[in-house]
Amino acid sequence: MAGFDFEPAKARRSLFGALVAASRDYGIAKPILEDQERNPLSYGRLLLGSLVLGRRLAAATTGGERVGLMLPSAVGAAVALFALSAFGRVPALLNFTAGIRNLKAACQVAGLKTIVTSRRFVEQAKLDDVVAALGDTCRILYLEDVRGEVGILDKVRGVADRLRAGSFGRGSPDAEGVILFTSGSEGLPKAVVLSHANLVANAYQIRAHAGTHFTTADVLFNPLPVFHSFGLTAGLLLGVLNGIKVVMYPSPLHYRQVPKLIGETGATILLATDTFLQGYARAAGEGDLASVRFVVAGAERVKDETRAMWRPYGTTLMEGYGATECAPVLACNTPDAQKPGSVGRFLPGIEHRLEPVEGIAVGGRLHVRGPNVMLGYLSADSDAGIQRPDGGWHDTGDIVTVDEEGYVTIRGRAKRFAKIGGEMVSLAAVEAMVSGLWEGASHVVVSLPDPRKGEQLVLVTDRADAERESLLAHARHVGFPELWVPRAILVVGQIPVMANGKIDHPATIELAKRNRAML
């Protein structure tokens, strides 16, 4: 893959059109997709499966319709995604871990009439109640039933369609490509509309940014859910659209199974979050992770302890940064351009600007613009359409610094600053200080209203012996302002975590509020 530069004009394709182009560039017989069933799909079989399934799904829906996909990270989800894209339908990827209330809200804001899922998946994931509730307003299509209707004539037609695959998915690259729903780690989830060009561009941007380090001989292992933008674009589209074989796995929480399958498939690139990387390193058997050359980590800060756990494997761990609204990758370290503590440099084609924030002396609020920035948010008011970013600029809500070499360092979320005694305090900075004292544990600092100082900091931790006197002594030792030291500590059995590995901040805040009397 040497010599790749990002060319925005080449990203002006539909998702299915980009798949067809990749099959021509890398060979229709090349194995490109696999999951835990160990039955690899070549480009040819992926195209054929997508076109056969796509015709069936098209017959049950209307052109341009948004169709819910509720499937795990496996080959079936990828085939269904491309199937809908080939026939001008818009996949809305539903987070099946979000709970009935959030799922119903997602279906409503996206205007979904049909949801595609799998009986086997629903049974294994114990989602019968969820599906029953969604069935009140949406028609449920099971892949097993759809495939059961496929006959010999459908397959013959599919072969004929594959011969003219370039005639499918020929809509505007600026049309809706997928609907994703933000994780809600800082508030209520939003429906994000990404165009075909947004997704294809980001897959090509990552490829260009990685340069010669990623090759078509690599095997990319993705245990992250496809309803999460990191799992969708970096975990699936990056590989499939660029000739890199992808191995999908349905749950990142299977700490023993994931390392074993990494070893069996000889995976050389792993995508994960810090939380999951620690779990895999602890559970791995001898030789399980020996093939992994690169780990690309996102969604949360990578701890020094995590890097130390992976160092014996000779793996290069690269931290990146992104946002669902940006398809999602914005910046990433690379093997030959790394800066500890940073999330690397911006990907090609991305403009940025920093806006000052009152009370914050270092860094600014990051705004970005580029071919990967979303079409906009879906409004709860169906008549309002898509709420597009002003001038194409997306406000990430993150406070960052960008040094003279172009390395981006995340200082915290704008929402994750508290005003204590008139001074702006970074909750992320406090968490880093705490981690310096109690390594190997999870810590979240939250801000609760305080009648005297406006806000009060509370440390929520799973460190059983955590107590404030030791924390205060450590803060003084490292020169940390006493004003920034949490006034109370809540020890819990487990910090709330979402399906994508991120800390669930709203749930953690609620946990602190419920236990406020104990603090």
Reduced to 3 states, what is the DSSP secondary structure of residue 345? strand
Q: Tokens 């209707």 — which residue? A: 149
Q: Comparing C-alpha atoms, which of 225, 210, 480, 489 is closest to residue 345?
A: 210
- Per the CB < 8 A criterion, the answer to whether 200 and 254 are in contact is no
**DSSP-derived secondary structure letter, 266:** T
Instruction: State residue 422's pLDDT score.
Output: 52
Nearest one of 337, 357, 355 to 346, comparing CA atoms = 337
**pTM of the entire structure?**
0.82
Is the peptide bond preceding residue 328 cis, with omega within 30 degrees of 0? yes
Ramachandran region, residue 344 (left: φ > 0; alpha: ψ -120 to 50; beta: rest): left
Domains of the chain with CATH codes: 12-402 (3.40.50.12780), 421-518 (3.30.300.30)
Query: Beta-carbon neighbour count of residue 448 at 10 Å?
Result: 16
pLDDT tens per residue, the chain (519 residues)?
Answer: 334 688 888 999 999 999 999 999 999 999 999 999 999 999 999 999 999 999 999 999 999 999 999 999 999 999 999 999 999 999 999 999 888 888 888 898 999 999 999 999 999 999 999 999 999 999 999 999 988 888 888 888 888 888 888 888 888 999 999 999 986 544 456 899 999 999 999 999 999 999 888 999 999 999 999 999 999 999 999 999 999 999 999 988 899 999 999 999 999 999 998 888 989 999 998 889 999 999 999 877 788 888 888 888 888 999 999 999 999 999 999 988 989 889 999 999 999 999 887 777 778 889 999 999 999 999 776 566 888 999 999 999 888 999 999 999 988 766 666 656 555 677 777 888 888 888 878 888 887 776 655 677 888 898 888 888 888 888 887 777 777 788 888 888 888 876 656 677 777 877 887 876 666
Structure tokens at 352: 């940025």
Calpha distance 223→212 (Å, rounded):
24
Tokens encoding 207? 């490829």
Alpha-carbon gap, residue 71 to 227, rounded angstroms = 9
pLDDT of residue 98: 80
SS3 sequence of 88-152: CCEEEECCCCCCHHHHHHHHHHHCCCEEEECHHHHHHCCCHHHHHHHCCCCEEEEHHHHHHCCCH
Q: How many angstroms separate the Cα of 183 from the Cα of each of 4, 234, 278, 448, 506?
A: 32, 17, 22, 22, 11
